[in-house]
């Protein structure tokens, strides 16, 4: 800075307290202040930009962390729901199986009883039909002899056919006596243990059961799934 009154103070002998120095800024000083203000503003803008970028990055990291936490929560909830659904499915299957077992326990015996009743009714009906057919004595005797022949007795010589005495008496008075059995080697024998319409053929190596009751028993066993 340049003082305009320095020579006057030194040459005139005026006391220093009566005068004060005026200082004017030079052009160089004004330009420096403006430059410093610009630098300061530029630095502030840079720091503001850096702060904004740092804040934005921090916000992105926070958002990513929040998304990850939400995804983990949703996955855990989904897994829990799937496990609950699996447990519910297992419980439902257990209940259904229990219902099926209970239903089988109650219905299977009933079905077996119904089946046995139907089979018994069928056999009873067959017995009634056979009994009605055997009411005719001649028909009963012919049926008994026909069964022995149909089961293989016709081709066997020297065998005996046992009949109920009433059937044998009816046969003696019919056209089958003598003419039909002549030369066949069949000997008719009365057997009081046999029922009307029954016949048993005896061979040297065994016998043939042609009784109606035995045939019905075999039919009953076959219908019931047994061995005939």
Q: Which domain holds residue 180?
A: 137-223
Over residues 104-119, the pLDDT tens digits come to: 787 777 777 777 777 7
Q: Is residue 149 part of a domain?
A: yes
Q: Is residue 33 part of a domain?
A: no
CATH number at residue 205: 3.30.2320.30
Give the chain's domain count: 1
Q: Is residue 38 part of a domain?
A: no
Q: For strand 159-163 and strand 186-190, is the pairing parallel, antiparallel, or unpaired?
A: parallel
Over residues 162-196, the pLDDT tens digits come to: 888 888 887 765 545 444 555 566 788 889 998 88
Q: Is residue 190 part of a domain?
A: yes
Interatomic CA distance for residues 119 and 222, integer angstroms: 10
Q: Is the pTM of this model over 0.75?
A: no
**Mean pLDDT within 21-40:** 58
Name the burial class of residue 2, with classes exposed (0-12), middle (13-18) and buried (19+) by CB atoms within 10 angstroms of its CB.
exposed
Q: Is residue 211 part of a domain?
A: yes
Over residues 156-171, the pLDDT tens digits come to: 556 788 888 888 887 7
Interatomic CA distance for residues 171 and 163, integer angstroms: 10
Q: Is residue 199 part of a domain?
A: yes
- Residue-wise over 197-215: b if at least 16 C-beta within 10 A, else e? bbbbbeeeeeebebbbeeb
């Amino acid at each position: 800075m340049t003082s305009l009154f320095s020579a006057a103070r030194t040459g005139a002998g005026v006391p220093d307290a009566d005068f004060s120095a005026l200082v004017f800024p030079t052009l160089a000083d004004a330009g420096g202040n403006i430059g410093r203000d610009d630098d300061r503003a530029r630095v502030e803008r840079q720091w503001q930009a850096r702060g904004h970028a740092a804040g934005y990055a921090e916000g992105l990291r926070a958002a990513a962390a929040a998304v990850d936490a939400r995804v983990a929560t949703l996955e855990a909830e989904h897994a829990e729901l799937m496990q609950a659904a699996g447990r519910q499915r297992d419980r439902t299957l257990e209940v259904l199986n229990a219902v099926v077992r209970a239903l089988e326990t109650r219905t299977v015996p009933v079905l077996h009883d119904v089946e046995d009743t139907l089979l018994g009714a069928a056999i009873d009906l067959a017995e009634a039909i056979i009994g009605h057919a055997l009411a005719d004595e001649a028909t009963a005797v012919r049926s008994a002899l026909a069964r022995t022949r149909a089961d293989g007795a016709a081709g066997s010589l020297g065998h005996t056919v046992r009949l109920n005495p009433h059937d044998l008496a009816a046969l003696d008075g019919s056209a089958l006596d003598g003419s039909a059995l002549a030369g066949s080697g069949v000997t008719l024998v009365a057997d009081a243990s046999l029922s009307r319409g029954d016949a048993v053929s005896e061979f040297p190596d065994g016998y043939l059961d042609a009784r109606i009751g035995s045939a019905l028993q075999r039919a009953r066993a076959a219908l019931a799934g047994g061995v005939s």
